[in-house]
Amino acid sequence: MTVFRTLLSELDLHEFPENKKALKRAYARKLKSIDQAEDPAAFQRMREAYEKLGSHLQSANGYQPAPLPNALPQEERASPPPASTLNDSELGYTTEQILTLPESNSLEQESVGFDKPNREFVDEQLQLIRNLEGEPADLDEIQEILGLEEMTAPVIWRELEQTVFDYLARSLIHGETGRHYFKPYITDAFLDQLDLLFGWQSDFKTLALLRGDQGAVAQALHTNSYIRQLKQKFWWRRPENILSITLFAFCYSILILTLPDLWWKNNATQSLTKAGLLLLVPYTIFLYIQTLWPLCRWFHNQIKEQTLHHFKLQDLGRFKNRKTIIRLVLLCGMTIATVPDYWQRDHTILWLGTTALLLPFKSARYKASLKTFYEQN
């Protein structure tokens, strides 16, 4: 009895199988949980348990067990226990209770069948992704489908990977310069999740196995990864950091503009005013650099596409970020209007810093423009 309990435990069975079909199903379920390459010993024990139990069923009802895939040679197999050593009281079943069923499909075919979930349900989920219209709520729908247990079978997972890849291809923005970007609702967290599941950003070789618009999606993934690296490198250009620095400098400038009116005759206040100059003048220079940088990038792209002697002033009209030009004109105008006053009164240059600080305080579009800074230029 102990021997049979061991054999049954190898196939995760608690009772002796009633027929051939039950034995094959138990083998198929166990086969999915064992990797022959990583644990050959467990795989061999499972095969021997199947053959021994099949031998007993053969002696009971006279049929042959189904051939196993990559079965061992007959001489290397373990000998089945003699039929005379087994009796009905040990098994808990009588030979009359064991039904003789007609031959069905091979074990390989049935084991493959267990790997496939309900095909109709799978097709519904894949079609749901294909019908998505490109909205932020789509990401939740895709993540929910990715978490379904029915979609984890190898064949189904491959189809799911291709369907999600095609969805990303439909979510691209094709730039005029030949660059490709994802629409704003495609978040970095969503791409990171896809990278963990499919390895598209970590291993671009995966893209070569997929159909569809491979080049555009691969370039968009590469561009997204490149932009994120730039954001980490130029941390001071992040919207939250820029706005925090701007708010601090603005409040500080208001403070040093108010104190001279209250305690102008105090030498300490004059020292505070000079300290304010040390802060605001470099920050004003920083605003110039921040404003001129996208314009310089645009000029650089124009130089690469055509020679300088072909460039005309009217070509500036093709510069997409017109807000940058307006901001540059305002900044230069305020500088010309206030700097000459500096030579007469030391503290008037503070007005330059104050007016320059007001420039970044725009609507939420300014924050969005920083996010697409490298995309537009």
pLDDT of amino acid 354: 52
| Strand, coil or helix: 181 | strand
Q: Domain ranges in the chain?
A: 2-114, 119-233, 236-376
Regions of the chain short of the pLDDT cut 50: 1, 62-78, 80-81, 83-86, 88-116, 205-213, 236, 307-311, 313-315, 319, 342-344, 346-347, 360-371, 373-377
pLDDT of amino acid 64: 45
pLDDT of amino acid 191: 80
Tell me, yes or no, if the pTM score tops 0.75: no
Q: Strands 180-182, 172-174: parallel, antiparallel or unpaired by DSSP?
A: antiparallel
The long-range contacts involving 148-154, CB below 8 angstroms and separated by at least 24 positions, are 150/117, 150/118, 150/121, 150/122, 150/125, 151/117, 151/122, 151/125, 153/115, 153/116, 153/117, 154/115
Instruction: Give the whole-angstrom CA distance, residue 130 versus residue 128.
Output: 5
> How does the average pLDDT of the chain come out, rounded?
63
pLDDT of amino acid 228: 61
| Tally of helices (H runs) and strands (E runs) in the chain | 17, 2
Q: Radius of gyration over alpha carbons of the chain, in Å?
A: 37
pLDDT of amino acid 173: 75
Tens digit of each residue's pLDDT (9 = 90 or more) over 112-166: 444 445 788 888 888 888 888 888 888 888 888 888 888 888 788 888 888 888 8
Beta-bridge partner residues of 174: 180
DSSP string, 218-246: HHHHHHHHHHHHHHHHTGGGSHHHHHHHH
DSSP string, 11-35: TT-SS--SSHHHHHHHHHHHHHT--
